[in-house]
Structure 1
Amino acid sequence: MSDFKVDASVFKAYDIRGTYPDQINEELAYRVGRAFATFLKIDKVVVGRDMRLSGPKMFDALTKGLMDQGVDVIDVGMVSTDQYYFACAKLGQPGVMVTASHNPANYNGFKMVKNMPYLLSGDEGIQDIRQIVENDSYAESTKKGSMTSRDLSEGFVEQVLGMVDIEKIAPLKVIADTCNGMVGPILQRIFEHIPQVEFTGMYLEPDGSIPNHGLDPLQPENREELEKKVVETGADVGFAFDGDGDRFFTIDDRGKFVAGDYMTAFLGQYMLEKYPDSKILYDVRASWAVPDLITKAGGTPLMERVGHSFIKKRMADEGAVFAGEVSGHYYFKDFFGADSGVIPALLVLEMLSTKKIKLSELLKPLEAEYIISGEINSRIEGDAKEKMQELAEIFRDGKMEWLDGVSVTYPDWHFNVRSSNTEPLLRLNLEAKSSEKMIEKRDHLLGIIRA
C-alpha cells in the first residue's frame, strides 16, 4: 500500500473527472493507466486527448502507466470524443480519452472505452479501477509497452459524410460555434466536402484556456452570441457543440434554441424515412412529442433511463437505429451505436434540404402542442429518495413509473423528477398541453421539491 491519497469523488457514474491539479494530477493519471490495464487485461489501447492545457502532462503520465503494465499505446492525437470512438471501433481496441467534456478549463479526467460502444461506468469498471488504485493491486508486468501514432481523421470524415447524401444538401447558410473545443478542425474538413453550404465558424480553434465562453451550450450564456449571429446574418441554422464534441445543439432561423426532445423527435422521424418500421430510443425526460412523432412515422418509440450506458445497451439489445437524449446526445446504429456531435448536424442539413422547409416551420406545431419546462435543477439538503417518495405520495392518483427517478402521467400533463449522479440536485422535467397548466404545475412541484 502506498501513501498516495485518492479523492474517491472523482470516480463518477460515467467517467473519472475533477479539478487539476488538486483532485486529478499526473500521479493519479499514471495509476489510472496501470489500473485500466490491470482491470481489462489488455495488450493494446487507443489514447486520445482534448485541448485542455493540462492534457499533454496527463497524457504522458497515463500512457507511462499503461506502458509500464506492458500495454502498447496507439496515440490518436488531439481529437473530439466521436473521433476517439471511431478509432476504438475501427481498431477494435479499448481506449482512454483524456478529457473533462464540457467542464471549465481547470478540470480534466478520463472517458474509458471497454469495447465499442460500451464505456466503463460507475457500476461496471470505474469503481474497480478506484479500488485497484487505492490498494496498489496492479497486475505483475513482465514487459514494457511501446507507443505508435495513428491519424484516423480521414476515415472519420468519410464515415460521417457517408451517413448523408451530400448531393441532396441545399446551399444553406450555416454558423457553427465550437467554443474553442475539439470540433472546429474536423468540422472545417467535413464542410470542405459540402461546398454548396455557406459555412461560418465561431471559435473553431482548440484553446485549452477557453478564452471566449464556456463549453456547455445547454447554459444560455454560452449560446447567446450564436443565437444573435444567426438572426443578424440571416442564417438558416446555427450549430453548437460541447467541448469534447459528443453533444450537439441547434439554433433555428429565428435565433431560438431547439430543445433536445424536439430534435430527438425530428431526427427520429427522419431516420425512419431511411429505415422504415425501426425502433427509436428516447429518455425519461422527453416531451410527448417524441413518442407521438415516432409512432406517427411508423416507428416504435422505446423509453430508457438517462445515461449512455443504459441507452447503448438497450439500443444493441433492441436493434434500434437511433437514440436521442434531451441533453444533446444522439446515438446511431450506423456509428457503432455511439454518440456523435457532427452526424446529427449533417442530418439536420439533409432533412431541411429534402423537406424544403425552415427549421422554425417544423418547430411551430410542436411549440403549440407540447409545452415543456426544460430541465430545472434544485439543490436539496435532505435525502433525494425521500423527496421523490413524497412526490409519489402527493401525486399517487396519476400513472406512476420508477424507471429513472419518479415519473407521473396525467391526461394533460406529466413530469419526471430524478436525482443527479454527481451533485446533490433534483432535476425536474415537466410538460403540459397548455402554457397555463405547465406554469401552474411547474411552480407547484418546485414548491414541494424546494420546501
Structure 2
Amino acid sequence: MVNGLSCFKAYDIRGKVPGELNEDIAFRLGGAFARRFSPRRVALGRDIRHSSEALLHALAHGLSAEGVEVLDLGLCGTEEVYWAAQQPGIDGAIEVTASHNPIDYNGMKLVLAGAVPVSGDSGLRDLEAATAASLGRAPSGLPPMIRADFRPSLVDFLARFTTPGGRRLKIVVNPGNGAAGPLLEALEPRLPFELVKVHFEPDGSFPNGIPNPLLPENRGATAEAVKRHGADFGVAWDGDFDRCFLFDENGDFIEGYYIVGLLAQALLQRSPGERVVHDPRLTWNTVEIVGEAGGTPIQSKTGHAFIKERMRREDAVYGGEMSAHHYFRDFAYCDSGMLPWLLVAELVKAAGQPLSALVSERIRRYPASGEINRTVGDVASVLRAVAQRYQDGEIDWTDGLSVQFPQWRFNLRGSNTEPVIRLNVETRGDEGLMREKTQQILTLIESLR
C-alpha cells in the first residue's frame, strides 16, 4: 500500500522498519490520534527493539504538536501501558512493540481511557486514513514529555494475587531478553517464590533469538533450566509480555488451550457462577471445566478486540484464547502476561501437586493437534470446499469454519494478515482419532492449494 500503510492491521499496527513503518508515519499517527480522540494526556511505552525509542519520540512529537500532554513510560510491556490507561487522568496509551515478530519489525498497540482497545471497528481505520492523508515529517530532537512510572502500583496490584506461606515454589522465568525483566525485578521482593532467571536482561539484538515461545526451537532454554534447577514449573514470555507460556516440572511445554481451562477453574473458584469467554478454535475442555465449576461458557470470535468487547458486554470474569492470551475483568478486561503464572503458582501450592498433575487428565480427555498453519492461494475457497466435504457435521461460522461430530471437531480459519489457513483438531479421549482426522484434513487442504 502507498505511504507504508500496510502496517495497519485488524487490531494494531505492525510492519517492517523503515519500509512499512517509520518515524514519519509514527509522527502522522500521533497527530491523527490526537485529532480523532481529543485526549488531554496520553502515556507512551516501548519495548526493547532498537527502533522503538525513535518511533516513540516521533509519536510524542505528533501528539504534542496537537496540544496533548505526553507521559513517557520508558521501557515497559504492553501490560504496563494497559495499566497506565486505567489510571485517573489518562485519556489514552500506546505501546511501541512488535512483540514476537522478526527483529526488523516494529508496531504499536493503542488503547483509550480504561484500556479500551482501538481496533478496526473503533477508530483504527480512521487513523489509517488520516495518517495516509498527511504529509508531515517527524521533527528531529527530543519531544516534550513528562517521565511517568506506574510500575509500583502495578506491582501492588499483582502482589494481591499471591498468598504468603506454604511451600516456597521455585519458578524459572525467561523473558527472552524482552521487556518483562524490569517488571519481574520490581515484583520479585513481593513474591513468595524463588525465581530462577534465564535470558533476563533486555537486549534489542535478541542474542538468544526472537522471544516467541510458540516456536518449538525457542523453548529449549526454559525447559532445560526447569530440569537443571529442579523447578516447580517454568514461564516464558513474548517480547512485550502480554502472553506467557508455561512448562511443567518436567520441562514439558503446556499448550495454551489447557491453561485456559486451568485459569477458568481458578477464577470461578474465586468468583462462582460467573461467565467465561473463550475462542472457537478448541472448546470442549474449556466448556466442560467451566460448566463443572458452575460457570457459563461463552464463545467469541478470536482476537483481542472481539474477546474484550464480548467480556465487557457479558461482564465475564475471565477470557482465554489457546494462543496464550488471557484476559481478566480485574485488569480492565485486558490480556495480562503476569496474572496467569501467578494464579497457576497459587493453584500448584494449594493442590500440593505438580503442574503436570493439574493438566494431564485434561490433556488425556481432550487431545488436541495444536495449531497447524498452511499457506493457500485463496482462504475463502478452501473453507468452502472443506465445509462441503464435512457437511454431515454440525457447522458453525462464528470464526472461520468449525465442524463438530460426536467424537471429534475441528476449526479452520484464515489469518488476518497473510494467505495462511490455521487448523485445530480435538477429540474426546482418542489421540489416534485426533491424528487421523488431522492428517485427513491436511491432505484435503493440500489437494486444494
Give the alignment's TM-score, normalised by structure 1.
0.94
Deviation at 1:289, TM superposition (A): 1.0
User: Superposed, which structure 2 residues align to 1:212-223 within 5 Å?
Assistant: 212-223=208-219
Q: Which moved more, 1:262-271 or 1:116-125?
A: 116-125
Cα displacement string for residues 318-356 of structure 1 (whole angstroms, at most 9, x for unaligned residues): 111011110111111111111110111110111110111
User: Superposed, which structure 2 residues align to 1:209-248 within 5 Å?
Assistant: 209-248=205-244
Distance 1:421 1:151, change over 3 A: same
* Match of residue 435 from structure 1: 431
* Match of residue 185 from structure 2: 188
Alignment match of 1:336 (pick from 325, 328, 332)? 332
Query: What is the RMSD of the two structures over their aligned residues, measured on CA atoms?
Result: 1.6
Cα displacement string for residues 358-379 of structure 1 (whole angstroms, at most 9, x for unaligned residues): 1111122112211100000000
Unaligned runs of 5+ in 1: 139-144
Deviation at 1:168, TM superposition (A): 4.9
* Match of residue 358 from structure 1: 354
User: Superposed, which structure 2 residues align to 1:126-205 within 5 Å?
Assistant: 126-136=124-134, 146-162=144-160, 164-168=161-165, 170-194=167-191, 196-205=192-201
Alignment match of 2:63 (pick from 50, 61, 66)? 66
* Match of residue 93 from structure 2: 95
Answering whether residue 422 of structure 2 is matched by residue 421 of structure 1, we say no
Alignment partners' CA distance in 2, 1:289 and 1:402:
20
* Match of residue 381 from structure 2: 386
Aligned length: 439
Alignment partners' CA distance in 2, 1:301 and 1:40:
34
Alignment partners' CA distance in 1, 2:41 and 2:190:
33
Answering whether residue 58 of structure 2 is matched by residue 52 of structure 1, we say no
Deviation at 1:146, TM superposition (A): 4.8
* Match of residue 110 from structure 2: 112
* Match of residue 123 from structure 2: 125
Contact between 1:279 and 1:302, CA under 8 Å: does it hold in 2?
yes
Q: Match for 1:278: what amino acid?
A: E
* Match of residue 370 from structure 1: 366
Answering whether residue 270 of structure 2 is matched by residue 274 of structure 1, we say yes
- SS of alignment partner, residue 6 of structure 1: helix
Contact between 1:168 and 1:353, CA under 8 Å: does it hold in 2?
no
Q: Identity of paired residues, percent?
A: 38
Deviation at 1:5, TM superposition (A): 4.7
Alignment partners' CA distance in 2, 1:410 and 1:226:
37
Alignment match of 1:6 (pick from 3, 18, 27)? 3
Q: Match for 2:412: what amino acid?
A: V
- SS of alignment partner, residue 3 of structure 2: coil
* Match of residue 316 from structure 1: 312
Give the alignment's TM-score, normalised by structure 2.
0.95
Contact between 1:34 and 1:68, CA under 8 Å: does it hold in 2?
yes
Unaligned runs of 5+ in 2: 137-142
- SS of alignment partner, residue 437 of structure 2: helix
Alignment partners' CA distance in 1, 2:163 and 2:207:
34
Deviation at 1:191, TM superposition (A): 1.9
Answering whether residue 95 of structure 2 is matched by residue 75 of structure 1, we say no
Deviation at 1:24, TM superposition (A): 1.1
Q: Match for 1:24: what amino acid?
A: L
